[in-house]
Amino acid sequence: MIEFFTEPWEHVFMQRAFLVVLMSGVVCGVIGTHVALRGMAFIGDAVAHSVFPGIAIAFVLKTSLVLGGIVAGLVTALSVAVFAQNRRLKEDTVIGVFFAAAFGLGIVVMSTAPGYGGSLESFLFGSVLGISSNDVVTVGVAGAVLLLTTGALHKEFVTVGLDRETARSAGLPIFWLDLALYAMVTVAIVISIQAVGNILVLALLITPAACARLLTDRIGVMMILAPLIGAVSGLTGLYLSYALNLAAGGLIVLTATAVFIACWVFAPRHGLLSRRGPAAARVQSSQFGQP
């Protein structure tokens, strides 16, 4: 039993994978909390697609994939924030336009590179076992900056998330706060794509936050539970991947989904069983003539 936990750490590539998955789980859990509170799951999906052309261009030019993805994501996020100011267009409509265009551009760019099929598969489904030492450093630095920025803007993000009109009347810069959150989602997704891939990265951003939402009504506690669930799900999925020789990204997401289902059923106040409990107790009491 002990070997199950210690053996993977004997391999350098697994050590790197564990570190990146751990950091990605924590960062996505924190950022994902604000995304979930504001009902912005779709923007996470849009950003995940919008980083594709930047990564594709960086791959063709043989430069940093992380930097290329961040630049492309930020450009798309800025475009969405600007075009969504037109009240004739809803935000989700603008998001749909830009993420589809970005993904199409990425496919066109990637098709110009020889042997792009394998690289495309790695991008879509993740390649956590092929992470380099430089990648670990990049994820660590970017993750630390994100966590510090989230802490600095936490109150403002919560205020906007709870009531935009109140935040606007209080003089908060709604546009710039939206743009800041979009940018932070972009960076969180880019540093996590290597772990679970473009298709599954939304789950790492949203699922732990959704679990925490079911477990607590307090935002502060949610900000602790979400990254904890994300980190544990990532590490567990990676262990299972090593033991079963199956895709790491898929198992990480399935582990997080299993935690979500458990929370949905067993959460103390908001779970399925707890919601049925009082009703079942009242029915039983009425059957026995108890007040």
How much is the pLDDT for 43? 72
- The per-residue b/e assignment along 127-148, b for 16 or more CB within 10 angstroms, e otherwise, is bbeebeeebbebbeebbeebbe
pLDDT at residue 199 is higher than 70: no
Contact (Cβ atoms closer than 8 angstroms) between residue 212 and residue 33: yes
With the CA atoms of 173, 176, 177 and 180 taken in that order, what torsion angle do they form, in degrees rounded to the nearest 10? -160
Mean model confidence pLDDT for the chain: 81
159: number of Cβ within 10 Å: 17
* Chain centroid to CA 57: 23
User: pLDDT by residue (tens digit) across 215-274?
Assistant: 998 988 999 999 999 999 999 998 898 888 888 888 888 999 999 999 999 998 888 887
How much is the pLDDT for 280? 46
Contact (Cβ atoms closer than 8 angstroms) between residue 28 and residue 178: no
pLDDT at residue 68 is higher than 80: yes
What token pair was written down for 236?
A: 């567990």
CA proximity to 187, closest of 205, 173, 203, 175: 205
CA distance 144 to 226: 17
Give the HSE-up count for residue 260: Cα atoms under 13 Å, Cβ half-sphere. 17
For residues 75-91, give the mean pLDDT.
73
User: pLDDT by residue (tens digit) across 94-119?
Assistant: 777 877 788 788 778 877 766 655 55
Amino acid at 20: V
CA distance 153 to 104: 34
How much is the pLDDT for 156? 92
Name every residue whose Cβ is closer than 8 Å to that of residue 110 and which is 6 or more positions away in sequence.
56, 59, 60, 116, 119, 120
Name every residue whose Cβ is closer than 8 Å to that of residue 265 and which is 6 or more positions away in sequence.
271, 272, 273
pLDDT bracket for residue 37 (50, 70, 90): confident
How much is the pLDDT for 51? 80
How much is the pLDDT for 1? 65
How much is the pLDDT for 283? 42
Task: Say what percent of the chain tops pLDDT 70.
Answer: 84
Name every residue whose Cβ is closer than 8 Å to that of residue 23 and which is 6 or more positions away in sequence.
139, 140, 143, 191
How much is the pLDDT for 247? 81
How much is the pLDDT for 126? 66
Angle between the N-to-C axes of helices 201-215 and 41-50, in degrees from 0 to 180, rounded to the nearest 10: 160
Please provide the DSSP assignment of 143-189 as one string.
HHHHHHHHHHHHHHHHHHHH-HHHHHHTT--HHHHHHHHHHHHHHHH
Q: What is the pTM of this model?
A: 0.78
For residues 166-176, give the mean pLDDT.
87
Domain boundaries, the chain: 2-202
Domain covering 2-202, topology = ABC transporter involved in vitamin B12 uptake, BtuC (1.10.3470)
